[in-house]
Structures are given as structure tokens and as C-alpha cells.
Amino acid sequence: MLNLMYCELLKLKKTYIIRVSLIGGVFISILMDLISLVSSEKFQSFEHYSSTIDVLNILLLYTILFSLIAGYVFSREFADKTASIIYTCSISRNKIFFSKLIVIYILISSVYMVKIVFIYLSCYILGNAFPEVSFMVKHIEYNVYSLMFEFLLIPIPVLITNVSNNIILPTAYGILGTIITIITSGSSSTFAKYIPWSTPYKFIMKIYSPNLVNLNYSVITGVLCFIISMIICIYQYNNSDII
């Protein structure tokens, strides 16, 4: 398994997807810093600064970016016409599947890590001080929870990629998921409570508005969504014909 993961990372080393992942981690932060410098707006507080970046990343960028990453990793063999060679080797498909999935999780984790580090560095540069340790711990903790639920949603674009054998449909799914998250983020309807795509966003909002966020419903649907989509994903991956 470790060798397969290493091979997957080596294959991605010379591709654009690693650069895209790193840029995705800092893009919103850099944009906010440039706006702050151009407008000469005084740095208000770490909480205000980090909440703006966290919310914009979750609402506008991450669903599309992570769907693109998942689509790229799983569609690469079909795009390069090497699927028939890889999947006829003596290695089980389950090992190939999970090695790719773990690599996706590594890339997504790197996006979150780069974002958090860049937020703290920007806070120090613009505000001449790091935030309080207690807030940093809370900020990192809930970002980890948000990351875990991003993991739970990944089998959906993976399944779409394996069915379509291309990167277009998972990216379209990411755009649709972004639209749904934006629409339901400020909604108090019963339907919005059960939307699994909004769970990473709700964990982020739990940092800044702990009394206004109810995670119970979306956490349950997120876990159920992962279990169902993962079962279907593994079955499809093991039983599909190689083109």
C-alpha cells in the first residue's frame, strides 16, 4: 500500500494538481491581504480576519477544488490510456483504490495546513502579533473537524469520476455543491439542516458563532452519505470494465 501511495505521489509530482492544491490554500488569504494593503484598511482582529478567509474558502473554493483533485487523481489513468495496464496487474483493485483515496486526503490536508499557516503569518505581518493561544487551539481544532467531513464527502466525486472516466463531471458536481452550500448556509429551513455539503462550513462557523450552529443533523447525514457512497464506490470500482 505504501509503495502504491508513493507511486501515486510520484505521478502527481510533475503535474499541475499539486501546484493547484497549494495555490488553493493561499489564494483567498493573498487576495484579502492585497485588498487590505490597497485599501489601507486597518487590521481589525484575528477573529475577523480568519473568519472572512475561512468562510470564503469553504463557501466559494473548497468543494470545487477538492472535487477537481479527486477527479484528477482517479481519471488520470483513463486520460493517459494506462488504465488497461494498471488494472490488469496482480495488485488488487481495492489497494489501488485506497492508495488513490489516501493521496487525495493528503492533498486536501495540505490545502488546510497551508491555509492555517498562511493565516497566522498574515495575522503577524498585518497585525504585528499572533492571536491568543486559546483561540489558535480552538481554530485548529474546528478546522480539523471541518477537514474530516471534507474527507467524508470525497467518495461522491470519486464515484462520479469512475463512472464518467473524466474530470468534467466531478468538477461540475463541485460547482453544484458550492451553489447548494451557499444557498443553504444562511437558511434556517428543515431541508438545510440535513445537507451534508454544509457540514464543513458549519464546523468553521462553530468557531465564531458557537451558539448559532446546530451540527447534529448535518453530521448524521454526512456520515451516512460517506458510508453509502463509499460502499457504492468500492463496488463500482471492483466491478467496472476497463476501457
What grid cell was written down for 192?
438545510
List Cβ neighbours of 212 (8 Å cut-off, separation of 6 or more).
205
Percent of the chain clearing pLDDT 90 (strictly above): 33
Q: Which residue has the higher pLDDT, 211 or 51?
A: 51
Instruction: Please tell me the predicted confidence (pLDDT) of residue 90.
Output: 65
Q: What is the pLDDT of residues 133-158, one digit of tens each?
A: 888 899 999 999 999 999 999 999 99
Best CA proximity match to 145, nearest among 55, 194, 230, 215? 215
Instruction: Please tell me the predicted confidence (pLDDT) of residue 70.
Output: 93
Instruction: Please tell me the predicted confidence (pLDDT) of residue 228.
Output: 94
Instruction: Please tell me the predicted confidence (pLDDT) of residue 41.
Output: 64
* Cβ atoms 160, 173 nearer than 8 A: yes
In angstroms and rounded to an integer, the radius of gyration of the C-alpha atoms of the chain is 19
Q: What is the pLDDT of residues 72-118, one digit of tens each?
A: 998 887 666 655 556 566 677 788 889 999 999 999 999 999 999 99
CA atoms within 13 A on the CB side of 109: 9
Instruction: Please tell me the predicted confidence (pLDDT) of residue 88.
Output: 60
Amino acid identity at 122: S
Instruction: Please tell me the predicted confidence (pLDDT) of residue 40.
Output: 65
- Residue 170: pLDDT band with limits 50, 70, 90: very high
User: Is the pLDDT at 124 greater than 70, yes or no?
Assistant: yes
- Residue 213: pLDDT band with limits 50, 70, 90: low
- Residue 195: pLDDT band with limits 50, 70, 90: confident
pTM: 0.89
Average pLDDT on 182-211 reads: 81
